[in-house]
Amino acid sequence: MERTLIGELGQKVGAEVCIKGWVSVRRDQGKMVFFDFRDRSGSVQGVVLPASAAIETAKEIRNEYVVSVEGKVNARPEKNRNAKVQNGDIELEVTKIDILAEAEPLPFDMSLDGYNLDLATELDHRALTLRHPRLQAIFKVQATIIDSFREFMKSQDFFEFQAPAITPATAEGGAEVFQVQYYDKKAYLTQSPQLYKQIVMTAFERVFSVNKVFRAEPSSTTRHLSEIVSLDAEMAFIDSWRDVRDMSERTVRFILERIAERHSKELELLGATLPTMIAKTPTMSLTEAQEKIFAKTGRDVRGDKDLNPEDERTLCEIIKEETDSDFVYVYGYPTRQKPFYVYPNPQNPTFNEGMDLLCRGVEWLSGGRRVNNYKQLLEHVAEWKMDPKKIEMFLEAFRYGAPPEGGFAFGAERMTMQILGLKNVREAAMFPRDMNRIDGLLAETKKPE
Amino acid sequence: MERTLIGELGQKVGAEVCIKGWVSVRRDQGKMVFFDFRDRSGSVQGVVLPASAAIETAKEIRNEYVVSVEGKVNARPEKNRNAKVQNGDIELEVTKIDILAEAEPLPFDMSLDGYNLDLATELDHRALTLRHPRLQAIFKVQATIIDSFREFMKSQDFFEFQAPAITPATAEGGAEVFQVQYYDKKAYLTQSPQLYKQIVMTAFERVFSVNKVFRAEPSSTTRHLSEIVSLDAEMAFIDSWRDVRDMSERTVRFILERIAERHSKELELLGATLPTMIAKTPTMSLTEAQEKIFAKTGRDVRGDKDLNPEDERTLCEIIKEETDSDFVYVYGYPTRQKPFYVYPNPQNPTFNEGMDLLCRGVEWLSGGRRVNNYKQLLEHVAEWKMDPKKIEMFLEAFRYGAPPEGGFAFGAERMTMQILGLKNVREAAMFPRDMNRIDGLLAETKKPE
């Protein structure tokens, strides 16, 4: 008999069907056995009556067994219906069960409500805990973040390219880079596709990429990962950094809309509410933001080179109170505090046209206008004391005519964490890599020879 | 004035417009100056008449200057029309030019017909050569291969996940793996998301990923890259390996259809023709394929452990002659020649249920059914002399109930190369990494300390 997905059983009342999936729960009531079966489309309750040919097999089966089940879809009596759960108005009367794969007894409770692991144990058993609805909800939302980023970019005529992971030299960062033994030479894992997306922009105008970036940050905070999915965009022929701001705002708005459309169930399960993005997100310079914080709290951060974490929280609170917006753009950072490619404000070159999008007290996205004039770029390279040979390919793109341009980037894991209100970014990475863990703990790993 | 894309000028005859883009060609005819302008949407000819206010600026401008141009869209006289090129029936009469960025004199001819670089020079100047229509065509087709893979997978209810790049141990390969200095420990760059996609399959049933994989193959052939975009799929609840075969065939067919729909212009420019996929791709066991080759050529390869490159070419020729299909599936390889996770044929365990899809003489895609029974998996791990501790996370997924399953994978660059008939796979990677090159040549790189 052809397989029916569990999610489609509601339309099959009265029919004989075959479902295939896992046993989430078995309740042996002596004469009868009840099951919760699940597949990728959902869950359904099954019952094996005493007279069923499947009753002996039903007694053998344990949680997480993989089964092929035949039976009849019955409407439940009115009093047994549960409108709050999927298929709460039907029940599968089981006539036949084939065991497709057995499962050993579970090392912990995997039920919806009983599941309660600390993060370390959860990660130690990622291969199993991924089956839990709460974890599935996290990664379903993350898949939508990534996919709707691509969808929006394509709708705006951005071209997708593949940024490289292995790079020859570290243009930007210092110590926080992973070294690769590359044949008999050395190379590095990319920290950002920044220079590559600017190169490709000079050929395709509007480009985006979804690629891994790597940060060797020797810290075990709740916010750091060694391997991150970076969502990057770059666009040519802008009139000012505000075009980049607008495109990034539309991107985030589109992602939030897609999540709202598709994931009400997942948000509810995780107890998460989407942040509020009003029609026009408040946007202010760093200086203005610092004035606001001073006026509100008396804490004088005016003239600081950047917002510190406390400033970011305070600013978001002020903006929320004033406008109901959970988001706020801050632009205009001290030029020399930021990378060489960020465009200085022509009216006041001490400050640049870089920007950050903050939400709920933390940075979600960064971007801004870039220097596109080749001579100015060479001046910056000299001022920033960089070796132009190490970025020769990047400089070549600008030597031969590069339009006014800018772009933005954000990390999929951090956005997932922030949208869902997760406490640790590791919860938002399916296989998180950090200082101490690559799947398992690294304690026993040998040192490199 | 708001910007009009060059591709939309055909609908603006008689109108005053502003375009922004690059100068592909400038032809100074003394009194008048002709230009070919281009942007991401295409090209158009512009003319600056002697009386134009732009004539002085027009004289300054060189190839690859970035310009903002105002003018009037004129229909060309009948005799000057060229139906073969985009906008061949119109011309932009230029009234104003603003130079947005200058360009230094080009180091080589970048014109459509004059461009003629050896591959090494082309790669040395990738930041510039990416602007050439021929290279753009390659990467546009590649973007469609990747995007239509995702599109088809989603249409079939496959869930996208992010496979990790950094791995703790090498489950499969031997020497051909890159080592990473991971804080004070050692780690490796992934060679394949194989084990991860099988893990995630046990939670989501149908999964796919688009991720980088890395191969430290110390060879400089035309077929090897150190960094590859791997397109991977895995599906649960199959009845046999033929379900995997069918899904992979539908995937490739969908990709070819999308390319045909979108890229006739690119295929023509590259002189490429899509391979023929008939209604049901010929499918045979390795043994049958060897018999065919022997019968046709007298070359006795019966009993060989695999098809060698000559066998693959011969088989594809035979199948093409017999059926007009450019594609052929070969399944049933010697079990012990392949990885531990490949499912042995229950009727004849000497041969497995792995498969390859060949086209035009080379392998395009690999896959097959996997071992899903936990006890059988443990037996394989022992027989293959693997350390079960190194794949503990993988084994855990199968310890707790894993359905019958299989999957397939292919590399974006190789498929691009084969579809477009490129001579070297480096042409199909925007920033190819190989033994000798990461953007620039590696000769001067210092040895790792």
Tokens of A14: 């009265």
Which chain A residues are closer than 8 Å to B400 by Cβ? 64, 103-104, 106, 128
**pLDDT reading at A174 higher than 80:** no
Which residue in chain B is spatially nearest to A433 when comparing CA positions? B166
Q: Is the pLDDT of residue B170 over 90?
A: no
- Of all residues in chain B, the one with the smallest CA distance to A400 is B103
Which residues of chain B have a CB within 8 Å of the CB of A202? 127, 130-131
* ipTM over 0.90 threshold: yes
Let me know whether A425 and A371 are in one domain: yes
Q: For residue B106, what is the nearest residue in chain A, using CA coordinates?
A: A400
> Beta strands B16-29 and B66-75: pairing type?
antiparallel
Tell me which DSSP letter residue B129 carries.
H
Which of B239, B400, B413, B442 is best to mutate for the A interface (most A CBs within 10 A)?
Answer: B400
- Decide if A448 and B399 are in contact by the 8 Å CB cutoff: no
Closest CA of chain A from B5, distance in Å: 11
A447 inside domain: no
Contacts of A178 in chain B (CB under 8 A): 166, 180-182
Cβ separation of A101 and B442 shorter than 8 Å? no
Q: Does residue B447 register a pLDDT over 80?
A: no
Going edge to edge, which strands form the sheet with A206-214? A159-160, A206-214, A227-236, A405-411, A362-370, A354-359, A327-331, A283-285
For residue B39 the two structure tokens come to 């942007």
Residue B90 sits in the same domain as residue B133:
no
Of the candidates A65, A66, A185, the beta carbon closest to that of B445 is on A185
Sequential DSSP letters for A375-395: HHHHHHHHHTT--GGGGHHHH
Measured between CA atoms, the residue of chain B closest to residue A207 is B40
Encoding tokens for residue B363?
A: 């392998």
The per-residue pLDDT for B153 is 98
Q: What is the pLDDT of residue A447?
A: 41
* Residue B177 binned pLDDT confidence (cut-offs 50, 70, 90): very high
Q: Please tell me which of the candidates A65, A404, A435 has its beta carbon nearest to residue B183.
A: A435
A182 contacts on B by Cβ (under 8 Å): 178, 216, 226, 438, 442
The contacts found for A213-219 with CB under 8 angstroms, 24 or more apart, are: A213/A189, A214/A165, A214/A177, A214/A178, A214/A189, A214/A190, A214/B165, A214/B166, A215/A176, A215/A191, A216/A175, A216/A176, A216/A177, A216/A178, A216/B182, A216/B183, A217/A176, A217/A435, A218/A435, A218/B183, A219/A435
- Domain CATH code at residue B344: 3.30.930.10
Does A397 score more than 80 pLDDT?
A: yes
> Which whole-number Å values give the CA distances from B336 to A379, B245, B355, B376, in the listed order?
61, 21, 14, 14
Which of B180, B195, B375 is the best residue to mutate to test the A interface, defined by the most A CB atoms within 10 Å of its own CB?
B180
Query: Is residue B449 over pLDDT 90?
Result: no
Contact between A282 and A323 (Cβ < 8 Å): yes
Tell me the pLDDT band of A172, cut-offs 50, 70 and 90: low
Structure tokens at A40: 């990728």
* Two tokens, residue A49: 């009556």
Q: Which among B261, B247, B271, B227 is positioned nearest to B413, based on CA atoms? A: B227
% of residues, chain B, pLDDT over 90: 92
Quote the number of domains for chain A: 2
Going by pLDDT thresholds of 50, 70 and 90, the confidence category of residue B171 is: low
Pair A142, A35 in one domain? no
**CB pairs A-B closer than 8 Å:** 273
Structural domain boundaries, residue A436: 126-441
Asked if residue A168 lies in contact with residue B443, where contact means CB atoms within 8 angstroms, the answer is: no
For residue A390, being part of any structural domain is answered with yes
Classify residue B30 by burial, with Cβ atoms within 10 Å: 0-12, 13-18, 19+: exposed
**Shortest Cα distance, chain A CAs vs residue B193, angstroms:** 12
Residues contacting residue A318 through CB under 8 Å, at least 6 positions apart: A292, A293, A296
* Whether B13 and B140 share a structural domain: no
Taking chain B, what is the end-to-end CA distance rounded to the nearest angstrom? Answer: 57
Is residue A118 in some structural domain?
A: no
- Residue B175, pLDDT score: 66
pLDDT for residue B441? 82
pLDDT in tens, B287-322: 999 999 999 999 999 999 999 999 999 999 999 999
Contacts of A150 in chain B (CB under 8 A): 147
Report strand pairing: B42-48 vs B90-101: parallel
Q: What are phi and psi of B284, to 5 degrees?
A: -150, 160
Compute CA distances B178 → A67, A191, B445, whole Å: 41, 18, 17
Nearest partner of B186 among B199, B164, B170, judged by Cα? B170
Among the candidates B84, B101, B118, a domain finishes at: B101
Count of CB atoms within 10 A of residue A268's CB?
11
Q: CA-to-CA distance for B416 and B410, rounded, in angstroms? A: 11
Cβ within 8 Å, pair B179-A181: yes
Rounded to whole angstroms, the Cα distance separating B183 from B190 reads 17
pLDDT over threshold 60, residue B247: yes
Query: What is the spatial distance between Cα A61 and Cα A358, in angstroms, rounded to a whole number?
Result: 51
Any domain includes B66: yes
* C-alpha distance across the termini of chain A, in Å: 57
Instruction: Measure CB to CB from residue A203 to each of B131, B161, B373 and give the nearest one.
Output: B131
Give tens-digit pLDDT for B330-385. Answer: 999 999 999 999 999 999 999 999 999 999 999 999 999 999 999 999 999 999 99
pLDDT tens sequence across A305-358: 999 999 999 999 999 999 999 999 999 999 999 999 999 999 999 999 999 999
Q: How confident is the model at residue A46 (pLDDT cuts 50, 70, 90)?
A: very high
* Contact (Cβ atoms closer than 8 angstroms) between residue A234 and residue A200: yes
**Per-residue pLDDT, A443:** 61
| A242 lies in some domain | yes
Q: Using one digit for the tens of pLDDT, what is the confidence trace for A180-226?
A: 999 999 999 999 999 999 999 999 999 999 999 999 988 788 888 99
On whether the CB atoms of residues B45 and B86 are closer than 8 A, the answer is: no
Residue-averaged pLDDT of chain B: 95
Would you state the structure tokens that stand for residue B448, as one six-digit string? Answer: 């790792």
Lowest mean pLDDT among A213-227, A360-374, B272-286, B343-357: A213-227
Final residue of a domain: which of A101, A116, A149? Answer: A101
SS3 B328: strand
Residues B207 and B97 in one domain: no
Q: Are B361 and B377 in contact (CB under 8 A)?
A: no
Asked whether the predicted pLDDT for residue B117 surpasses 80, the reply is yes
Residue B17: CATH number of its domain: 2.40.50.140
pLDDT over 90 at B443, yes or no: no
- What are the chain A neighbours of B229 within 8 Å (beta carbons)? 162
How would you label A396-410 residue by residue, b for 16+ Cβ within 10 Å and e otherwise? bbbbbbbbbbbbbbb
Half-sphere exposure of B92 (CA within 13 A, CB side): 33
Whether A108 is covered by a domain: the verdict is no
**Would you state the structure tokens that stand for residue A85, as one six-digit string?**
């759960």
Minimum CA–CA partner of A167 in chain B = B438
Q: Please indicate, yes or no, whether residues B50 and B190 belong to a single structural domain of this protein.
A: no
For B261, other C-beta atoms within 10 Å of its C-beta total 10
Is residue A200 within a helix (H) or strand (E), and if so which, with residue range?
helix A194-204
For A55-80, what is the mean pLDDT? 96
Shortest CA gap A296–chain B (Å): 41
Residue B157 and residue B97 share a domain: no
Nearest to A440 among B135, B180, B392 (CB): B392
Rounded Cα distance between A262 and A273, Å, is 14
What residues of A are in contact with residue B102 (Cβ under 8 Å)? 374, 401
pLDDT, one tens digit per residue, over A102-123 is 999 999 999 999 999 999 999 9
Rounded distance between C-alpha atoms, residue B359 and residue B21, angstroms? 40
State the DSSP code for B212.
E
**pLDDT confidence tier of residue B219, bands split at 50, 70 and 90:** confident
- Confidence at residue A170, expressed as pLDDT on a 0 to 100 scale: 64
Residues B343 and B235 placed together within one structural domain of the fold: yes
Q: Give the model's pLDDT for residue B445.
A: 42
Give me the pLDDT at residue A171, please: 58
Contact residues on chain A for B150, CB-CB shorter than 8 A? 147
* Residue B119 covered by a domain: no
With 90 as the cut, is the pLDDT of residue B21 above it? yes
| pLDDT at residue B173 in the model | 55
The answer to whether A138 and A223 are in contact (CB under 8 A) is no
* Residue A449 confidence (pLDDT) above 90: no
Angle (nearest 5°) at CA B368 between B366 and B372: 140
Confidence of residue A448 (pLDDT cuts 50, 70, 90): very low
Residues B262-267: what's their mean pLDDT? 97
pLDDT score at A251: 98
Are residues A160 and A37 part of one domain?
Answer: no
Question: CB distance B216–A131 less than 8 Å?
Answer: no
The distance of A427 to chain B (nearest Cα, Å) reads 14
Sign of CA dihedral A116, A120, A124, A129: positive
CA B132/CA B110 separation, integer angstroms:
7
Residue B442's pLDDT band (cuts 50, 70, 90)? confident
Query: Is residue A117 situated within a structural domain?
Result: no
Share of chain B above pLDDT 70, in %: 97
In B, which residues are within 8 Å of A400 by CB distance?
64, 103-104, 106, 128
Kindly state whether residues A240 and A191 are assigned to the same domain.
Answer: yes
Q: How far is B34 from chain A (nearest CA, A)?
A: 19
Q: Which of B67, B101, B135 is the last residue of a domain?
A: B101
Whether residue B322 sits in one domain with residue B237: yes
Instruction: Say whether pLDDT at A426 is over 60.
Output: yes
Q: Do residues A25 and A73 both lie within one domain?
A: yes
B40: chain A residues, CB-CB within 8 Å: 157, 159, 204-206
* Residue of chain B whose alpha carbon sits nearest to that of A61: B401
